Structure 1
Amino acid sequence: MIIRLDDLFNLCKYFIFILLIFSSLHINYTYAESPDNDNILKLIKNKLAKWNSIQYTMDININEEPYGYKVFYRRPSTLTTVSWNKNDNTDKVTMIVSKNTTTVFDHKQNDKQTFDTGAFDLFRVNNEYDTGWIVEYLGKFDLSCTNSGKKEKRATWVVTFTTQQGIEYRFWIDQYTGINLRMEVRLKKGEKPYVVAKITSFKLDKPVDKAVFKDPF
């Protein structure tokens, strides 16, 4: 299997983005459920649906190459992500997603492309085409992480998604917020992770700078 680095990185960003899109859904449950393979996605949606805004930063290592990643989300459907190569600050991509369109800005090439696919369209695509992925809840885990320089332990749900091609995504989802605190990607089950992403800071229901949702050029 040959996977281009850019394609894999975009796929990783896409899946983190899909988890954020869950927060646009208004889901309410009047009873507590214990997580299992069948309901874990529903529980994550329920946690994320509480927040009107989510902001977080991650360090991502892809095959020993360091990247940075920022997410700015504001209800109901405005999202901006910024990713950059830590070895080349000019190599940066900004993606702005609104209800009906997605615009990708390539800072190095000073180029942008707009697609007629917004947040809810991507959510529908995920539901329609990723139903063959195997979802497995692995249990609870107290994860050591960093938030704005402060080390802390947070209770997480560990969940894996395995594609039809055998690529495994493993997420450590914060039990209180629903945010993904850590991600590992293995090209084959049992292999060393090809991608490791760790959260370094996050803010919930805090004001989001309106400038991050505007054309950066």
Structure 2
Amino acid sequence: MNGRAEVHHRHRDVTGGWLRPSVFGAMDGLVSNFALIAGVAGGTANTRVIALSGAAGLAAGALSMAGGEYVSVASQRELAQAEIAVERHALAHHPEDERAELAQTFVDKGVTPGLAAEVARQISAHPERALEVHTRNELGVVPGDLPSPVLAAVSSFLSFAVGAVLPLMPYLFGAQGLEVSAVVSSVALFAAGALVSTVTARSWWYSGLRQLLVGAVAAGVTFALGNLIGAAGL
């Protein structure tokens, strides 16, 4: 016996730290740029204008995603750091109160008061460990494991760009109509949705069809709008 509990099962990452910005970025890039290209194609047959619109949509969307993700995660990180500083100050200046508070959290989970007090005492003997336990319990964060705004921004930029370039590629290679872009985008939408199913409880076909439907509705609405505006000569 080595004193360590044997692990009989493992869980997938459900916090979405890497999954959310990557998946959201790729899906958003694919859906939004496909819809943009469809909207422009509905109003004009000029492939140069369509390609230019798609390229502008890719650049603007990727930069917007990256900037928004950076500011969002940076603000979240700064807020967490400020609250961690408050907790650190409380542990340094009111150790008995913090120890009692920690013990109460164990009591609330069903631990007997005597054992809870002893566990809290042992944890509190190590300041950094005590800080980690307190912040995890009260804030849901770990001081040394806060999200990186740079990583989130780069991930969002790249994932959006990868998604957004797919409906644009046929025009870059000389396609003259929306049909090829629509086929490429539809296959990519279904594949992306099916890929997401590997980290969720949904079946691959359900996730694929759901994502395809979302993209098709968005592109259909913008195509109709572009066609209406083009027909009106605006």
TM-score, normalised on structure 1? 0.27
Higher Cα Rg, which structure: 2
Structure with more of its chain in helix, by fraction: 2
Structure having the larger proportion of residues in strand: 1
Higher relative contact order (CA 8 A, sep 6+): 2
